Amino acid sequence: MRKKYILGITSLMSVFSLTSCGIGYSVIENNGTIYPTNAVSGNGEASSSNEKNLLYTPVYASTNAKVNTLDEASTKTSVEETVEMVYDSVVSISATSVYGASAGSGVLFSYDETLGFSYIVTCFHVIEGYTNFEVTLSNQETYPAYYVGGYEDYDLAVLSIEKKDLTYASLYSDSNTLKLGSTVVAIGNPLGTLPGSVSSGVVSYVNRVVQTSTYEYQTLIQTDVAINSGNSGGGLFNTAGALIGIVNAKYSAAGIEGLSFAIPSNYVTPPIEEILETAQYDTANKVWSSGYIKGDYEYGFTITLGYYTTGSGWNKNVNYVYYVSDVNSNSTYTGKELQKSDIVKEIKVDYSDASKEDITYTVSTDNDVNLWLNSLSLSLDDTLYFTVIRNNETKIVEVDVCQFIYNI
């Protein structure tokens, strides 16, 4: 439930994306500057708030969309016939903000008769950090799109457009039953400049457990399909026309070819159904109250191994510490009570479940505090107590585990 950084696997964001992996310095009052020794996974990217000065009293309406499924396994249908069945369900996505732009892909999967929206599933990393979206259909018609909700853990997000009578993909009912060697077709927007591109290959492995960050693993479909930046969020189909996965990653290194991955339909259907269930549309102000996954939490702080120096000359000492190098401003991230430059000395877990024994962890530079934090199985009513040094004073900071709702 923490932010994912792809190590070894390249996240398929557009080449136009402007991202920052650097960590700036932090200052401890009267104690010099802390310098990071290296970046440690956390969640240092701030997302914008969904709070708006609304003109009218909100009138919320629930969605009335259903996710279609298809039981048919791959057939001997040709790739050409498969493309004819599903081609128009794949769209191109343009995402922009004042900080930059990104491009990706998405798949139309449902229409809401009540609200008049068509829904698109894409990858969370395609929309993360951006505020404005446009969707281009296969016939080159372009529509403004709106964020409905997302699930960072599975790298999934849902957008909506005001358009009906489109082609909607049906998700494969059980991706566990995929057969090795079966033909698959990927459709997407490689490089963010080649919309509607088709590539094909085979299922190389059904449920490959892949390390998607320093501390996170994801179960994905492995294929040998040609995938490039911009394909993220696009569809992976079997030859019966069922959507078996959402393309999201590939191995990218010298000498490596034909290792691409997709989120299996078994991991796509439940989250997007829950996002639609929890999302509310404000019909008075024409804005979404974002959908979410119940019980999901995300750490909104970055803890980094760094050092600061005291003294000078022969008396100069180097002091290694774990410190908070960034805190996310989104109020639903767990950890907003921490502050930049807090030096973390101890963390206590107070479980709301009385049957669980509370844990106290003493932070040491000999051990990876992030590995320990990411190994915890927390619930929304649990509390973390951070003992930190802030402005040369020892403080205990109470951190509540919050329901995570990513807002645009």
Catalytic residue among 197, 232, 290, 341: 232
| C-alpha dihedral sign at 363, 367, 369, 374 | negative
Pairing of strands 26-27, 33-36: antiparallel
| Residue 8, C-beta contacts closer than 8 angstroms, at least 6 positions apart | 211, 251, 253
DSSP state of 368: -
Backbone dihedral region of 370: left (phi > 0), alpha (psi from -120 to 50 degrees) or beta? alpha
Asked if residues 199 and 83 have their Cβ atoms less than 8 Å apart, the reply is no
Pairing of strands 280-282, 26-27: unpaired
Asked if residues 239 and 75 have their Cβ atoms less than 8 Å apart, the reply is yes
Q: Calculate Rg over the CA atoms of the chain.
A: 23
Asked if residues 111 and 117 have their Cβ atoms less than 8 Å apart, the reply is yes
Catalytic residue among 41, 112, 125, 260: 125
DSSP state of 82: H
What's the CA angle centered on 296, arms 377 and 133, to 5 degrees? 145
In the Cβ-directed half-sphere of 233, how many Cα atoms lie within 13 Å?
Answer: 40
CA distance 274 to 181: 32
What are the CA-CA distances from residue 136 to residues 16, 49, 120, 141, 155 (Å)?
17, 26, 12, 6, 21
Catalytic residue among 88, 112, 153, 155: 155
CA distance 375 to 361: 12
φ/ψ of 16, rounded to 5, equals -85, -10
232: annotated active-site residue: yes
Question: Where in the sequence numbering do the catalytic residues fall?
Answer: 125, 155, 232
